[in-house]
Chains A and B, each alone.
Chain A
Amino acid sequence: MLTNLIIVLIIAVIVAGAAAKLISGRKKGGPCSGCPYSGLGDQSCHGQDHLSCDQTAEGNQ
């Protein structure tokens, strides 16, 4: 019984941690997986309203 409770707690912590990271990332505008500009500071593509990708594209023309 106690083991089951511990497992439930562990699963709850893992799931809550993943959800919290997802929510905080969304608020901050987390980088997209595989994005060529992910993690590149000002150039990173954070969200739809972020202009850096637009600027990058313009910079190439």
Chain B
Amino acid sequence: MSDDNEKKTEEKKVAVVPKAKPSEKADIAAKNTDKHKAGEYVLREGNTWANAWKFAAGVGALGLALSAAGWMNDPRRFAFSYLFAFMAVLTPALGTLFFVLQQHLTSSGWSVTIRRTAELFASGLIVFAILFLPVWMTRAKLFPWVEGGEAARAEVGHGEAAATHTTAAELAQPATGQDEAPGQRRPQHEPAGAEMTGPGADHAPHAEHGPGAHEPVLNANERGEHGDPEELEAEHTVHLKRGYLNEGFFGIRAIVYLAIWAWLGFAFLGRSTKQDTTKDPKITVGLRRFSCAAVYLFGFTLTFAAFDWVMSLEPLWYSTIFGVYVFAGCAVSAYALLILVTMGIRSSGVLVKEINVEHYHDMGKLMFGFVVFWAYIAFAQFMLIWYAAIPEEVQFFHLRWDHGPWATVSLALIGLNFIVPFFLIISRNTKRRLGVLAFGSAWLFIMHIVDVYWLVMPNFGQDGFNVSWIDLVCLLGVGGAYLAVVLYRMSTTPLIPIGDPRLQRALQFENA
């Protein structure tokens, strides 16, 4: 790093690689080994980043300790806060795995120098196998479908609370323009009897209840905990899902997801670091093939994990696009994370030339693309549910639009997770101004955490929106633990895949 001239000559020699015929391969491999010394891109002792894992571990330990205190203090709150933290950290981690897959699938040359950082972050996915344990242990508090669980009981209480706390004035508020449909006022109760009335008659219950927004308030007060036909209906519907939503299968699925992710993370980093020393171009070919199969595993595990851990928080609600929605968040946050981390590493004087404005320009473009993709998916999900207004579907948005503070968060997601960043990073100039891009990335990363909060927390059930210290300590705990592992590996691994045959393309990459 210190000797620029030396490096330049090295690179020149490496540039000969593409010209060589396969027969000369062994020769090249031998030559290459002299050129990019693995040690050259390993963080030095004194570098801030070499020791960053200690700091992350400290924060993580403190966070987890305080989370444990939170668990003692308010187990139900902890359950939700922890799930939120778990998902908020897991999603960008999965996004980095997607980044690696994407680069291999498309045989990208430009991104080679960034790929190692993503590989390191993906390899940290194994941590979530351990971090998942609290989610498993608190499942009865989280998921209403867990038989005899607290959540199932709390659900009922919440349903009442939500309804009684909703004033007529709030009901009249045209948050989504859909408030006229009174059936939606009872989010947790399945109004349309699947067996008895069917979706074709979805609007029939509304008619029975008569027009007027006051109706459901009265209904909720009159309703007892037991014997309400709608509740019985809801129970029955959950019962119909038992084949999927049962604890044993849930646990097995979780093990499968976590094992697959840990394996993929390891496999990509492992093969790539192996190439650092062997310089074998076959590894590139092999990883491209592997990524084709891996992307299937990734897609399905991510989707079903999203269904299991987030969508089933409201067991009556369903949306076929939900997995894609969570995926969009993964991708945006991973790009933001990679931009921020590589910029951080650069600020310590490493990788300054290997990852330059050209790479950030492309990262910015892709991040921008995924921001738009997120908005597209979010709009498709919202608009279709809003438009059709089928009661069991609208409950999701009902919770998030018709309760004051959550409506504000929903609006903030539109404005701050789409409109503002859209205009911030649409221009070529802002993507090439690293300060602005870093700001935009940090912004999007924070908004992603808000997005996850918005997905998980409305199900906590205490009406409206309340932030707890437990949210924060859980986030610090999970994030710290994950980062500690990733940063530790980072301190011992070369920061760029020096054996990749396309490395030269990344080093000389320029946006047209």
**A, B in one complex:** no
